[in-house]
């Protein structure tokens, strides 16, 4: 069952679903629009092999990260970005993350992304860019998040490596 704006407002008012900071203008008909934050990382163009099984790999050499009030997303690149909002999802909900259609129509895309019940943190999102540069300012409503009620509360809520994340989180290695 997908939650409507009415359901979402009730979950937020009861503090079972937390969105920090919260603003009424992010509530849409059947989801919440989350805003892009002030930090992004772009995959570096290097020829070194990234071994995701190596516990000593220096992951930061594979990314260039920076903060700004606006970003130019260069063509044919992969970026990681973060949301302004910190979310806390109760165990009876999960969420599907989509790109707002305006940005998809510009040629941006994101892979299928799910927020698990029990997750809390800012959302790190992978963005694949278009064939031309696109400027996006921080605090722009960028993602549309659709919340769904699971048939029964999750018995083992999310407790993974990205729990409580703030800002852009690079891959945590080694893979498990």
As annotated, the binding site for dCTP includes: 100-105, 116, 158, 165
Q: What residues are annotated to the active site?
A: 126
Helix spans in 100-161 (H): 101-105
Distance CA 136, CA 140 (A): 7
CB 122 within 8 A of CB 165: yes
- Provide the 3-class DSSP secondary structure of residue 110: coil
Nearest to 168 by CA among 44, 46, 42: 42
Which residues sit in the known binding site?
A: 100-105, 116, 158, 165
Q: Is the dihedral of CA 45, 165, 93, 28 positive or negative?
A: negative
35 C-beta neighbours (distance < 10 Å), count: 18
Distance CA 19, CA 30 (A): 16
């Amino acid at each position: 069952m997908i939650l409507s704006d009415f359901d979402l407002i009730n979950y937020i008012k009861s503090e079972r679903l937390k969105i920090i900071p919260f603003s009424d203008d992010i509530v849409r008909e059947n989801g919440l629009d989350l805003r892009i934050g002030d930090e992004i990382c772009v995959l570096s163009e290097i020829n070194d092999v990234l071994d995701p099984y190596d516990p000593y790999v220096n992951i930061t050499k594979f990314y260039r990260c920076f903060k700004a009030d606006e970003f130019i997303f260069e063509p044919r690149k992969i970026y990681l970005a973060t949301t302004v909002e910190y979310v806390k999802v109760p165990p009876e909900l999960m969420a599907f993350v989509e790109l707002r259609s305006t940005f998809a129509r510009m040629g941006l895309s994101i892979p299928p992304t799910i927020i698990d019940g029990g997750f809390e943190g800012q959302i790190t999102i992978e963005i694949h860019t278009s064939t031309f540069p696109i400027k996006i300012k921080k605090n722009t409503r960028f993602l549309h998040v659709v919340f769904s009620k699971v048939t029964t509360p999750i018995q083992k809520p999310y407790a993974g490596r990205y729990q409580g994340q703030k800002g852009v989180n690079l891959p945590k290695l080694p893979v498990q």
